[in-house]
Structure 1
Amino acid sequence: MKSHVKALVVGGGAVGTGIAYHLARAGWSEVMLLERDELTSGSTWHAAGLLPLFNMGYATSHIHDYSVKFYKTLEAETGLNAGFAVVGNLRMAQTQARMDEYMLYASTAESVGIPYEWLTPAQIKARWPLVRSEDLKGAIFHPTDGYINPADVTQAMAKGARQRGVTIERRWQVDGYEWTGSEWKVTVTRMVEKGGNLVPSDDTAVITAEHVVTATGNHAQRTAQLLGLKIPAIPVEHQYIVTEPDPALQEWRAAGHPEHPVLRDADAKWYVREERKGWILGPYEQGAPARFRYAVPDSFRADLFPLDLERIEEEYMSMIHRIPTTETLGLKDDFNGPICYTPDGNPLVGPAPGLRNMWLAEGFSFGITAAGGTGYYLAQMMVEGEAEIDMAALDPKRYGSWMTSEYAVQKNEECYSHVFILHHPDEEREAARPLRTAPAYDRQKAQGAQFGQVNGWERPNYYAPEGFDDHAARSFRRGGWWQYAVEEARAIREGVGLIDATAFTKHVVKGPGATAFLDWFTCNKLPKVGRINLTYALTDAGTTRTEYTIVRLAEEEYYLVSAGAWTAYDADYLRKSAADKAGEFGYIEIQDVTTQWGVFAIAGPKSRDVLNALVRDAAPETALSNARFPWLSMREIELGMCPVRAIRVAYTGELGWELHHPIEMQNYLWDQIMAAGAAHGLKLVGARAQNWLRQEKSYRAFGTELGRDATPLEADLPRFVDLSKEFRGKAAMQALGVRARCVTLLIDGPDDADPWGREALYHGDTKVGRLTSGGYSVAFGKSIGMGYVTPDLAVPGTRLMVKMFDRLWPAEITEDSPYDPKNLTIRKDSCPQQG
């Protein structure tokens, strides 16, 4: 066995072999894959092998699309048939809401380039007479996917990897990782058979590797313990059954008819496909338990759990309803095995937090579908520095150190049961909540707050009257909450509103090297003391890694505010970057102070009036004036007895302040603001209205307009890029040029719906881009959206079409910041004549 390699892949399932193959194909020699048992002996061996293209996520859709196309090429390359049955995928809908879901997905599919067809119930029946269709609304059909033999595709990728120079070693278990400062020393032990179990022998070795990738599947918790990490990948039981041959199906096939597509009755929570003239039923039922919370027992190899037929009785009876010929069939086989999940259902793919050259590829609930694409895009990240698509949605650091095994268990069980639940864009799942709450949570709840969850934090989405049912209000169109968000947005435009932004990520960067480091780390000029700047940290590939509001507290002390969903993600990049430059810039201290500071954002034409009643100052009548507190500045002020780090900025584009306050004083400050605001009609405002308002100002958001697939110049933000200085990623950014450009559009859409930010954009019959954000504009009385189009079309006045609900709706590119483009309202002084 080799003692030194460029990259060591740990795990010989479909995902691990896919990664090893693509690293070699990307040009890395000296790649080794280790498997503790045999290839495919984990969840791969008992997977049903389905390859569904359907996915509501943009990055995951790309991954699945790549896999489906790649698997079709393997036989020509390796000579091994991967067992790909391209039978298509028929996803049926019993309700209009389900069809709405499919239509939203379909626009995402168009932006990725995934083909699909619509079928009516009559067309379903005509093509597949064994399927009952009279109670369906319709279906979406993917003609290019189907199912594959998991073992065959894994072996084909393994052979392709070997042909490209990859070494594959079986029966070796990793027992330790040690980072030497330049490479990993990986301690491995030979595994041997003993009494039917796989046990460690006395044969050990050490492999040094520049990079390590873990793709350990059900063993992710053991991997987490070896690396000192938290990895919320814990398996959940998934069972499926195989029926005896169906005489009606046999007759259908004997008559020369093609195989049925993979059938999915999403409202009944199952998939069905043909298997040796019978049927496989795979349900996603309620009550499936998580397994292996801490580790997989040594005695568990390619094993299964006992079947629990009572748990899937409802889904079984539904199959009989949908395919009546199955009623008299007996069961030929059953499987109940562990399938790894994560709290949001997306795998964990990317750099491990806090570690160098350690890459995670864990938590794949659809591992066969994702294996090829994960290998392709992860290899891009490792070899080239970034993938061609933004992989942030899959980054392992989207869960911070607050995450526990109990949280992962509860959320993973919920995620499994939600595979076929309607995935509303305004969906908020209930398990393991509330967990992280700011002090004002109970006060907000008493005021009718309907909470969403971001990075574990409870955050008001909107406020509704007593008795309002948030779950019932969800929709693919304008849900029951929409009217309340409209009222909240209008309150900020016309009066005053209060938003809880406590979930913001906050870091303090200070020390002798802080200024030099941040000047290199971010692309804009650094602010002067007491002032703020909006800026971006870039990847080495020149794309946007993080957006920061930087407040300069002192010559060598800075307060950095970034998106609340990305605390661990931002902290890891900041700390690793500072460590890389410590020898050049000197000592730098970085503190994550997110949980020390609460944040209230007060905004609207009357916001100064509310704060004037609270500010304690020698001259309170001028304390918040432009002369003493100009736009884009910070001051330490006192509101009643609460010391506040006030920042004159508003994500809504109105006159306003962010009030950063000691978290332990939050309830006091809340009560003071509510009392002072009563005389001015202050309204509580949630995140959904804020999202609409920021689009009226063309304020880009990280995770939508801003990400690792576009540069700040492509986001059309040259005013925040100082090309006169050197900064990380500058040359790469300039080399990329402007491949697409971010624009804001006003949309004449349906009367009962707004875009969600997943829709394809057309110019005539040509797809020219996609939306990244969407919503409703109270200022213009119509839908609004932001997105990317080809540079030649990124001109105000250009008329495009937006794909919504299987129709094209007119849209027009508007000037940047269509609401108050000259920023007059946000700069408004306390004296009207000074404007």
Structure 2
Amino acid sequence: MKTHVKALVVGGGAVGTSIAYHLAKAGWQDVMLLERDELTSGSTWHAAGLLPYFNMSYATTHIHDYSIKYYKTLEEETGLNPGFYVVGNLRMAQTDARMDEYMLYASTAETVGVPYEWMTPDQIKERWPLVRTDDLKGAIYHPTDGYINPADVTQAMAKGARQRGVVIERKWQVDGYEWKGDHWDVTVTKMVEKGGNLIPSDEQVVIHAEHVVTATGNHSQRTAKLLGIKIPAIPVEHQYIVTEPDPALVEYRKTMPEHPVLRDADAKWYVREERGGWILGPYEEGAPARFSYSVPDSFRADLFPLDLERIEEEYMSMIHRIPSSETVGLKDDFNGPICYTPDGNPLLGPAPGLRNMWLAEGFSFGITAAGGTGHYLAQLMVEGEAEIDMASLDPKRYGSWMTTEYGERKNEEAYSHVYILHHPDEERPAARPLRTAPAYDRQKAEGAQFGQVNGWERPNYYGPKDAPETFDHDARSFRRGGWWQYAVDEAKAIREGVGLIDATAFTKHLVRGPGATAFLDWFTTNKLPKVGRINLTYALTGHGTTRTEYTIVRLAEDAYYLVSAGAWTAYDADYLLKAAEDKREEFGWIDIHDVTTQWGVFAIAGPKSRDVLNELVRDAEPDTVLSNKRFPWLSYRDIELGMCPVRAVRVAYTGELGWELHHPIEMQRYLWDKLMEAGAKHGLKLVGARAQNWLRQEKSYRAFGTELGRDATPLEAGLDRFVDLDKDFHGKAKMVETGIRAMCVTLLIDGPDDTDPWGREALYHGDERVGRLTSGGYSVAFGKSIGMGYVKPELAKPGTKLKVLIQRRLWDAEVTEDSPYDPGNETIRKDG
């Protein structure tokens, strides 16, 4: 066995073999893959092998698209047939809401170039007469995908990897990882057969690996313990059944081609042909999590007992949809573990807190994702970045607050939600509320309908106070849901009066010490603010794209308070801490603390916001403390509101006169009550995140995770004013070298009367697809839909006429000037 390698891949399923193959293809020598048992002996062996394109994520759609195209090339390269049956994929809809979901998905698919067709019930019946269609609304059909043999495609990728120099070793288990400063020492143990079990022998080897990738599937909890980190990937039971041959199907196939993979999403199952019969795969309620701590040594390529009662409803609905299956007996059944994560997306990227350790865990659709995972992870490892933004899949999207029970409950929920209606305003209820700010109960009493951000409960909008708990769920829609008017009223309140927003979930870091100033000057793109001032700035990747957005508050000469997006606390902390560690010798001592949970944040904004604060401010000259002279725009002051000390920052994400009120978290209820009391005479309205999202688009304020990410530079995002090209900063040369591939624009849209864009839609110029939206919503200032997105540079000029694909139609859109609402920032600078 080799003991010195460039990269060690741990796990010999479809995902692991693809990663090994693509690392070698990308040019890395000395790649080795270890499997504790046999290749495909994990979830790969009992997977049904489906290749569904359908996904609402831009990054994941790219991954699936690559896989489907790549698998079609394997036989020519390796001589092994991967068992790819390109029969197509028919996703049926029983309701208008389901068709709305497919229309939104289709617009996302167009941004990636995924082919699809629309079908009516009559067209379905004409092509596939065994399918009952009288209660269907229609379907979306993907002609280029189908299903594949999981074992065959894995073996084909393994052969391709070997042909490229990868060494594959079986029956070796990893028992320890130790970081040595520039490589990992990985202790591995030879596994031997004994009584049908696989047990460790006395033979051990230490492998020196510059990089390690874990693709351990069901064993991810063991991997987490060995690494000393948390990995919220826990398997859930998935069962499917295989029927005896269906005489009607056998007769049909004498003259007709194979059925596509059939999906009745409203019935929560997929069905495909199998040797004259049918495979039914349900995603039922009540499937339990398994192996929450480890996989028993006795569990190898094993299965759980079938629970037919649990899938009875789905089985009967298959008979309803394919009546000929009613008299067909069952031939085989499978009930095995499939790994899930709390949001159903894999954990793909650098491990939190570790160097040169890469995770590829939690693949609930591992066969579909394996090819693309290998391709894009290899780009990330070899080149430093992938061509698509992988942040939505990054393992650090979950923080250390995540526990085993949380993982169990959320993963069970993710499984049962595979075929629910995936509204863009979807909020899943399991394991909630969990992280709550002190004012949570007061907000709930005021009718707050909460969203979840990094575990925090955050008001999305305020509905009726007497609404039942189900109001928010009932209000959801792919169009303007029941919450829409509430958000409109909240947005108008900020534009015309005053509103209060809870922004406690913001990520907050304190950076200080002798090296803090030099480090942050190198780490970020903008000039550092003077003491008492703030600025907006960006940390870049090594490729010059946007890694993090910060508001920097300078507290003292060598003390800074950094505020960034609430959804990305662990993601931002990991990058900041590693960068500071790398530069400590050059710049000096730097002390960094995550103080997110120590500070609450209320944002008060609107023309009357100063009036409300003047009711509470304690100062020798209270009438002037909030004036432009004493408290100018883009500055901060330590003030007192009643008995609460507040770090007030004069900035407003809504584009109106306003302040962020950062306060000790333990005083939040007191401050809330005082603000509500003082605001009553000024018509203060409580405002949620949805209205705020609309308002920031009227100001063309880019948001991290939508307009800002690792696939665009700040210059492409149109943020030149926050980039100081006269100084040297991390990623500068690559940013300049990249140039302008696309430009971020704001568009006003003449869309449907009942629908606004969600930020996933394709943009057209004539018949040519020229870009995509990254954000969308409604503008109260202009009385029409609004969106932000990226287009070809030559189309970014204000006044350019484009089209947006919404509900299968192209709607007129026009590129506006940046900040179409109050472009001169007169309201935000208003004096008092």
Q: Decide: shared fold, TM above 0.5.
A: yes
Which residue is equivalent to 2:315?
Answer: 316
Q: Distance in 2 between matches of 1:77 and 1:582?
A: 48
Q: Distance in 2 between matches of 1:253 and 1:673?
A: 71
Which residue is equivalent to 2:232?
Answer: 232
3-state SS in 1 of match to 2:825: coil
Q: Distance in 2 between matches of 1:427 and 1:539?
A: 31
Q: Distance in 1 between matches of 2:781 and 2:619?
A: 35
- The answer as to 2:776 corresponding to 1:774 is yes
Q: How far 1:677 sits from its partner (Å)?
A: 0.1
- 1:330-352 superposed Cα distances (whole Å, 9 cap, x missing partner): 00000000000000000000000
Which residue is equivalent to 1:6?
Answer: 6
Question: Quick one: which of 538, 550, 553 aligns to 1:551?
Answer: 553
Q: Distance in 2 between matches of 1:218 and 1:737?
A: 43
3-state SS in 2 of match to 1:788: strand
Which residue is equivalent to 1:664?
Answer: 666
3-state SS in 2 of match to 1:651: coil
- 1:51-89 superposed Cα distances (whole Å, 9 cap, x missing partner): 000101000000000000000000000000000000000
Q: Distance in 1 between matches of 2:522 and 2:26?
A: 30
Q: How far 1:598 sits from its partner (Å)?
A: 0.1
Q: Distance in 2 between matches of 1:655 and 1:434?
A: 32
Q: Distance in 2 between matches of 1:717 and 1:592?
A: 27
Amino acid at match of 2:683: G
Which residue is equivalent to 2:763?
Answer: 761
Question: Quick one: which of 710, 725, 740 aligns to 2:727?
Answer: 725
- The answer as to 2:269 corresponding to 1:270 is yes
Which residue is equivalent to 2:420?
Answer: 421
Which residue is equivalent to 1:158?
Answer: 158
Residues 510-529 of structure 1 mapped to structure 2, 5 A cutoff: 510-529=512-531
- 1:230-277 superposed Cα distances (whole Å, 9 cap, x missing partner): 00000000000000001111001112x100000000000000000001
Which residue is equivalent to 2:346?
Answer: 347
Question: Quick one: which of 585, 594, 605 aligns to 2:587?
Answer: 585
Amino acid at match of 1:302: A
- 1:765-821 superposed Cα distances (whole Å, 9 cap, x missing partner): 000000000000000000000000000000000000000000000000000000000
Q: Distance in 1 between matches of 2:671 and 2:249?
A: 69
- 1:496-531 superposed Cα distances (whole Å, 9 cap, x missing partner): 000000000000000000000000000110000000
Which residue is equivalent to 1:72?
Answer: 72
- The answer as to 2:712 corresponding to 1:710 is yes
Q: Distance in 2 between matches of 1:471 and 1:464?
A: 12
Amino acid at match of 1:231: I
Q: Distance in 2 between matches of 1:179 and 1:528?
A: 40
Which residue is equivalent to 2:115?
Answer: 115
- 1:373-404 superposed Cα distances (whole Å, 9 cap, x missing partner): 00000000000000000000000000000000
Which residue is equivalent to 1:392?
Answer: 391
Which residue is equivalent to 1:221?
Answer: 221
Q: Distance in 2 between matches of 1:826 and 1:734?
A: 32
Q: Distance in 1 between matches of 2:500 and 2:761?
A: 31
Amino acid at match of 2:797: V
Question: Quick one: which of 629, 632, 645 aligns to 1:630?
Answer: 632
Q: Distance in 1 between matches of 2:635 and 2:158?
A: 58
- 1:383-440 superposed Cα distances (whole Å, 9 cap, x missing partner): 0000000000000000000000100000000000000000000000000000000000
Residues 52-67 of structure 1 mapped to structure 2, 5 A cutoff: 52-67=52-67
Which residue is equivalent to 2:251?
Answer: 251
TM-score (norm 2): 1.00
The unaligned stretches of length 5 or more in structure 1 are 831-835
Which residue is equivalent to 1:450?
Answer: 449
Q: Distance in 1 between matches of 2:402 and 2:621?
A: 47
Amino acid at match of 2:431: A
Residues 140-219 of structure 1 mapped to structure 2, 5 A cutoff: 140-219=140-219
3-state SS in 2 of match to 1:240: strand
Which residue is equivalent to 1:94?
Answer: 94
3-state SS in 1 of match to 2:335: strand
- 1:199-255 superposed Cα distances (whole Å, 9 cap, x missing partner): 000010000000000000000000000000100000000000000001111001112
3-state SS in 1 of match to 2:473: coil
Q: Distance in 1 between matches of 2:745 and 2:111?
A: 16
Q: Distance in 1 between matches of 2:695 and 2:528?
A: 27
Q: Distance in 1 between matches of 2:728 and 2:276?
A: 66
The unaligned stretches of length 5 or more in structure 2 are none
Residues 594-613 of structure 1 mapped to structure 2, 5 A cutoff: 594-613=596-615
Runs of 4+ more than 2 Å apart? none
Q: Distance in 2 between matches of 1:59 and 1:404?
A: 27
Q: Distance in 2 between matches of 1:160 and 1:510?
A: 51
Amino acid at match of 2:423: H
Q: Distance in 2 between matches of 1:603 and 1:177?
A: 51
Aligned length: 829
Which residue is equivalent to 1:676?
Answer: 678
RMSD: 0.3
- 1:321-369 superposed Cα distances (whole Å, 9 cap, x missing partner): 0000000000000000000000000000000000000000000000000
Q: Distance in 1 between matches of 2:611 and 2:681?
A: 10
Q: Distance in 2 between matches of 1:235 and 1:593?
A: 33
Q: Distance in 1 between matches of 2:631 and 2:428?
A: 42
Q: Distance in 1 between matches of 2:69 and 2:326?
A: 36
Amino acid at match of 2:120: T
Residues 740-759 of structure 1 mapped to structure 2, 5 A cutoff: 740-759=742-761
- 1:540-583 superposed Cα distances (whole Å, 9 cap, x missing partner): 01100000000000000000000000000000000000001011
3-state SS in 2 of match to 1:380: helix
Amino acid at match of 1:779: A
Which residue is equivalent to 1:432?
Answer: 431
Q: Distance in 1 between matches of 2:555 and 2:276?
A: 72
- 1:590-640 superposed Cα distances (whole Å, 9 cap, x missing partner): 000000000000000000000000000110000000000000000000000
Which residue is equivalent to 1:803?
Answer: 805
- The answer as to 2:647 corresponding to 1:645 is yes
Q: How far 1:467 sits from its partner (Å)?
A: 1.6
